[in-house]
Structures are given as structure tokens and as C-alpha cells.
Amino acid sequence: MSEHAKNIIAVGVGAAIGTISRYSLNLLTLESGYPYGTIIENLFGSLLLGFLTAWFFVFVPKEWVRTGLGVGLCGGFTTMSTLAADTSFLMNHYTVFDAGLYVFGTMFGGIILAFIGYRAGSVIAKKTRQKKEVNPA
């Protein structure tokens, strides 16, 4: 099987898992009337993608693993279109302040959590690599 085909399959599988996870989380938080599910998925997805990015600098995976987890899983789990729809909903049913707070918290929270995930991934990956160098299996 070609690398290109492996990447496409990995992205599809990752996206399916991410999308099903996103949908399930939204169902769990739907009754609140506020888009908590979208906030959680976008913030957690940012944290996870930051972590994976740093991890993959230290432990370089096969390309299909990187694309499957990054583009597929994280891309399928996070969502810009739902963010936009939820913002419109909040502007129509709550206040402009609520909508602005939602966008601000999601965007800046996502950037901050991506940075935290990157730092955590970097530290954990380096410690893991050091342990493997000291205690090879």
C-alpha cells in the first residue's frame, strides 16, 4: 500500500473517531442550552494537538500516524463551523457579551491550551526518551 493511501485511510479513521467523540460530547451537554460541548472539544483538541506536535518532534512517527492523529482525530474532534453557529445562536438568544465571551474564551483559551499541551508534550517526550536511552528494552 502506498504512503498516500495509508495517510488517507489514517485521516479517515482518525476523523471518524474525532467526529463521533465530538457528537457524543455535544449530546451529553445539549440540555444545558449553552454550547459547553463545543468549548470543551475545541479547548481539549487544542491541548491535544499542541501535545502531539511537541511529542512528534522528539519521537518522529510514521507519516500516517501523524496525519491520522493530527489532521484526522484532532481535526474531526474540533470544529470551527460549530463555533460560528454557536456564536450566532448566542447572539440571538443570549447577549452580544455572552457571544463575545464565548469566542474570546474559545480562541484565546485554545491558543493557551495548545501552548500548555506543547510544553507538556515536549517535557514528557524528552523524559521518556531519556529513560529509554538509560534503560534500553
- The set of cell numbers assigned to 111 is 491558543
95 is in an annotated binding site: no
Distance set, CA 52 to CA 45, 70, 75, 90 (Å): 10, 7, 13, 32
45 is in an annotated binding site: no
The runs of H, that is alpha helices, within 1-137 are: 3-29, 36-58, 63-67, 75-77, 80-93, 96-134
SS3 79: coil
- Residues in binding site: 75, 78
- Residues in binding site for Na(+): 75, 78
